[in-house]
Amino acid sequence: MKSNGLRAELGRFDATMLVVGGIIGAGIFINPYLVAQRLPSGALVLAAWAAGGAIATAGAFAFAELASIFPRTGGEYVYLREAWHPLIGFLFGWASLFMIQGGGLAAVAITFAQYALRLVGAGPGAALPLAVAAVVLVALVNAAGVKPGSLLLNVLVVAKLAALGVLIGAGWILGPGGPVAGHAVSDSQASTSLLSFGAALIPILFAYGGWQSSNVVAEEIREPRRTLPFALVAGIAIVVFVYLAANIVYLQTLGRDGLAATMTPAADAVRSFGGPWADKFIAAAIAISAFGFLDLTLLAAPRITYAMARDGLLGQGLARLAAGSAVPARAIALQAAWSVVLLLTGTFQDLVATVVFADWIFFGLSVAGLFVLHRRFPPAAREAGAFRAPGYPLVPAVFVAAAALVVVSTVWSDPRRALFGILLMGLGIPVYFAYRRRRPA
């Protein structure tokens, strides 16, 4: 089965693993301490993670409906183009290639290399060449076809979930059974905690981002109008359970104060009940998670570039599919090559801080576009059984408000970095108009 030359080879399990793999990264092993620092009790920490899961679920519901309206390669690029303007879609693709995925891919490649070397007891000197080799290897796998890239991702996501399962299971069985809620909260602390709750949601919403990866490869998924909603809902449900369970283990083994005091909560939690093997276990888990992200990025992100080129907004060579594998091999090579450039020059560090800012701008605009598309494509006029986001319009409105909060908070905390991100995105405007003039009428 083919769609515009792309082969629809991915099923429900593949699509669900794309969702789970897009969300769960190395952060769940490290970042929960940020949330604990901003809230005064374990109960509030868990409530914040649950609230973040609810917001992510609202976003996934909206993306599931968007996928049912436009089951096309490119995901957010298509939604933004159709709901708002082709320029908005192009700027998303531009930011994805050069900022969101480019910087993120380089940063995670370094993370993979550092933890892989730690796992085998080697020094950090080989981190850069190993990171470059990892990007090249994953690019070659994905250039071989969408199925090889998906199979590799499936194995890595299952391994990642298995590692988290060991952490959670061992923590519940072997860890101390201290109270999750932590110390009591006085009236003054309660007032402070309410003000801090929004701040605690910021790193949580970052951790829940990434469910949109399956939408990007819609034309390579069998029956995407049915498969994508299932994958999004099932994938988010798995992630919410895993995140809550992992944080329960952290709180039971370390306490709220202990969790807030460590930048390596997973390693400290495992060490408290597992002994000296903890460091090796966590290094392996983070290396697997990071390598899985590399594969996911080079599987999904180049499809955005391919979709833009197919619309005549980038060089036509990027819209060509490889003869044997039927994948956008040139787009894959471009994404990988740009990430290698960032690795070799070290400039990816300047981009990483802008990733979240840019990502959540487009998250919010994509879900807000659902209101526009409801008027253009009313549910009554769609095919029978087409997915509709539950709780419309309230549920997507909550997500849009949460996305706005993330963007405003990012600007407030680092206005210079936000301005840098805006300028980088702005560089795409003349490129868009240059290619638009070259397109045949």
Helix, coil or strand: residue 217: strand
Q: Of 258-272, 294-308, 328-342, 366-380, give the lowest mean pLDDT range.
A: 258-272
d(CA 354, CA 87): 20
How far lies 318's CA from each of 104, 195, 333, 341, in Å? 21, 48, 10, 19
* Per-residue pLDDT at 176: 65
Q: Which domains does the chain have, with CATH numbers?
A: 2-438 (1.20.1740.10)
Residue pair 336/85 in contact by the 8 Å Cβ criterion: no
pLDDT: is 59 or 420 the higher one? 59
Mean pLDDT of 249-272: 90
d(CA 313, CA 316): 8
d(CA 241, CA 243): 6
pLDDT category of residue 26 using cuts at 50, 70 and 90: confident
Q: Of 90-99, 185-194, 234-243, give the lowest mean pLDDT range.
A: 185-194
Residues 200, 202, 206, 211: is their CA dihedral positive or negative?
positive
Q: Which of 339, 364, 369, 45 is nearest to 201 (CA)?
A: 45
* Per-residue pLDDT at 222: 94
pLDDT category of residue 133 using cuts at 50, 70 and 90: very high
Residue pair 312/438 in contact by the 8 Å Cβ criterion: yes
* Per-residue pLDDT at 175: 65
Measured in whole angstroms, the distance separating CA 119 from the mean position of its chain's CA atoms is: 25
* Per-residue pLDDT at 279: 83
Q: What is the pLDDT of residues 150-187, one digit of tens each?
A: 999 999 999 999 999 999 998 888 766 544 444 434 44
Instruction: Determine the length of the chain.
Output: 441
* Per-residue pLDDT at 186: 41
For the cut 80, the answer to whether the pLDDT of residue 356 exceeds it is no
